A and B are shown apart, each in its own frame.
Chain A
Amino acid sequence: MSALPAATPARTGWLRDLRRIATFTGKRLIALILTVLVGVYLTILIANMGGQVDDLRMLQIRATVSEQVRADPAFFDMPSEERNELIERQVQLEVERRRLDEPFMVRSIDYLAQGMQLDLGRAEEMHSDSGSREVYQIIVERLPATLLLFGTANLLVFFVSVWAALWLSRRYGSPADRSVIALAPSSAAPGWFYGIFLILIFAFLVPVLPAGGMVDIPPPEDSWAYAASVMRHMVLPVAAMFISSIFISIYSWRTFFLIHSSEDYVEMARAKGLPSSLIERRYILRPTLSPIVTSFALMLIGLWSGAIILEQVFNWPGLGTLLFQAIGYRDTPVIIGSVVIFAYLLALTVFLLDILYAILDPRVRVGIEGDNR
């Protein structure tokens, strides 16, 4: 009792926690890889309709090849039997090149291996802005534009609303609180709706900001001027997204904090006479960090897909526009590629989330290792 405890148990406590987190992380990693594997394989099966698309492909190859051979003047005077033989040979070559002679199940495993290595193949119709037909290139070139725009807007909305909600939860029923509640229905309209009005006002009635695009045409040479131009182009779309989601976001976080600030342990902390900043930090934010981080991560996942209509309205060269075009062209490799990349990013986010949970919430740590009190 005399040589007391604080130091030693603290160290063993942390060791125990570290071991738990490591075990937990390993297990989660394996589970997630399996999940991505299954997800991508299912996408391959579905996109190929379980192999039935192969029959269509065969027909298509035959049609294309015969068309080519018949249209080629070099073969005009060839006897039709020879010509048919030639067509057969060409078809055979193409079939072997695409390995359509092998059973679909064998090939599907190969597709899976390629997909998992992010070898997404070539687009059928589309090409990237720099001219590449690699699906991976097409998608990756569009990613920064989307991330920049939606990242800025969503991070802004997230942090402003959490901060404002915490502030409002201390002022329950105040005029500010009531106005936020009253304004919450403004989020019923999507961002692009506000975008149209913003463009009308700030690009046409009072022409101070560009109506669309990502950078001036021609793009400025100087990199600072380039950045400034991009920022000017971002103002309106970011404002549109901000307006359309800020009030509902504040409102829901405010309710969340109000509920959690009536927990018994918060009341206990108040009774203990702790300063309110400490109560807010340690008794409201700390125990609710898991849901806050979850919603933050889900928001990040949402970023990857962009927003089709908003990007169209502001003529923004992002993933939303890309997907819209891919669907228009029925360019399946691009669509499947997006799905694969999305699955990877989702799994990565969930993985990071799991680790964060285990660090943030001691209950999660123990739950996985089993009951070992």
Chain B
Amino acid sequence: MVEKTLLSVENLQLHYQTRRGIARAVDGVSFDIRANEALVVLGESGCGKSSLAKALLRVLPRNVHRFSGRIMLGETDIMNLGQEAFRRDVQWTRIAMVMQAAMNALNPVVRVGEQVAEPLRVHLGWSRQRSLERVAKTFELVGVSTDFLQRYPFELSGGMRQRVVLAMALVTEPELVILDEPTSALDVLTQASIMNVLKRIKQEQGTSFMLITHDVATSSEIADRVALMYAGQVVEVADAGDFFHQPAHPYSQMLMASVPRLRQEDEPAHIPGQPPDLIDVPEGCRFADRCPSRFQRCDREPEPFRVSARRHVRCWLHAPDATGGGDS
């Protein structure tokens, strides 16, 4: 699984101008995704996960205050691409996305086959016939009957719509597919079958995935790597096995402890307190107020410290010069 880096994000910042002030939705995020790797981005609601996804595909709202950092896709510095070049060469040809509100992601008055075929026709200039044939293949791949090509979105159930949206993201065979909460509105069986589709596509086509979710259990099925976000920052990024079995950041530990397990005696723990307001983030470590291991250094903001070759943790407990304070 050791392969070349597909996507490299460095110090990405996406701040919004709001009436109350500047909301720092994505604030200094760095991570890599390698080819054929699935990175799961975990985090509570409002921690900036979706903003991160939108920043990568440059689907920005009108009120952006600051959008900076470095995003390398293969050899291309996509931050420095002009709007038109980005639209033509990156959007949907190299990075595609399944949006959070997949239920509403389909145009209500256009047949779904046409909608899924659209990127092929617009970006690759394919004929209608050829595009529809490819769409039919993709439909089979994600488990949608080809009879549905001629249907309108409202004639499809929620699960089917979700699959159609997934087909739309896969149809151009992009290198990276970003999935923003792809299953959170679905029942457990549909969730499982969609996760299976994703796993199969990853194996068969070597696609990389960035899966954004708050659902630890579902994400563990597909994750190679995990990035945990808190208040606009990645607090820990590590290989999935390491993260799930030995979380390093206090927030990661508390998060894992809060996941209910089948044969577990004690109650799932919850994390007291609230995540900070993204408009008014506290000085120092953003998790400090809720952290049981808080100590003096936490008044200053920690960097993402490199703990091992594959793990970075944004916590003073893991600073290179830390003397092992705390209980990790």
Contact = CB atoms under 8 A, between A and B. Distances in A.
Interface of A: 1, 4-6, 9-10, 12-13, 172-173, 263-265, 267-275, 278, 282-283, 286-287, 289, 360-363, 366, 373
B107 A270 contact: no
B91 interface: yes
Contact of B111 (A13, A274, A275, A363): A13
A6 B140 CA distance: 15
B104 A273 contact: no
A5 B99 contact: no
B62 A265 contact: no
A265 B105 contact: yes
Contact of A265 (B91, B104, B129, B149): B104
Given A272-B119, A283-B107, 20 more contacts: A1-B146, A4-B132, A5-B149, A6-B129, A6-B132, A6-B136, A6-B149, A9-B147, A13-B150, A264-B105, A265-B105, A265-B108, A271-B57, A272-B118, A274-B119, A275-B122, A282-B110, A363-B108, A363-B152, A363-B154
A265 B107 CA distance: 6
Nearest to A278: B122
Contact of A273 (B91, B147, B150, B165): B91
B92 A287 contact: no
A-B complex: 4 closest residue pairs judged by Cβ atoms: A273-B91, A264-B104, A6-B132, A13-B150
B91 to A, nearest CB: 3
A290 B107 CA distance: 14
Given A271-B91, A271-B92, A363-B152, A282 B59 contact: no
Interface string B244-275: 00000000000000000000000000000000
B155 interface: yes
B212 to A, nearest CB: 14
Interface string B67-89: 00000000000000000001110
B78 to A, nearest CB: 12
A267 B59 contact: yes
B149 A360 contact: no
A13 B96 CA distance: 29
Nearest to A372: B155
Contacts, number: 100
A13 B103 CA distance: 23
B150 A268 contact: no
A173 B152 CA distance: 35
In terms of DSSP, what is the predominant structure of the interface of chain A? helix
B104 A4 contact: no
Contact of A366 (B111, B146, B149, B155): B155
A4 B119 contact: no
B101 A264 contact: yes
Interface string B122-140: 1100001100110010001
B238 interface: no
Contacts of A173: 62
Contacts of B111: 13
Contacts of B140: 1
Residue from B108, B119, B168 whose CB has the most chain A CB atoms within 10 Å: B108
A274 B91 CA distance: 9
B103 to A, nearest CB: 8
Contacts of B97: 271
Nearest to B62: A172
Contacts of A4: 132-133, 136, 146
Contacts of A9: 147, 149-150
B150 A10 contact: yes
Given A287-B108, A360-B109, A6 B128 contact: yes
B126 to A, nearest CB: 12
A6 B146 CA distance: 9
A172 B63 CA distance: 11
A275 B110 CA distance: 17
A41 B82 CA distance: 67
A362 B154 contact: yes
* Chain B CB within 10 Å, residue with most, of A5, A361, A373: A5
Contact of B88 (A12, A172, A273, A287): A273
Contacts of B101: 264
B109 A361 contact: yes
Contacts of A289: 109
Contact of A271 (B99, B107, B108, B154): B99
B33 interface: no
9 contacts: A5-B149, A6-B128, A6-B132, A263-B104, A268-B165, A271-B99, A274-B122, A287-B107, A361-B108
B90 interface: yes
A357 to B, nearest CB: 11
B14 to A, nearest CB: 15
Nearest to A284: B107
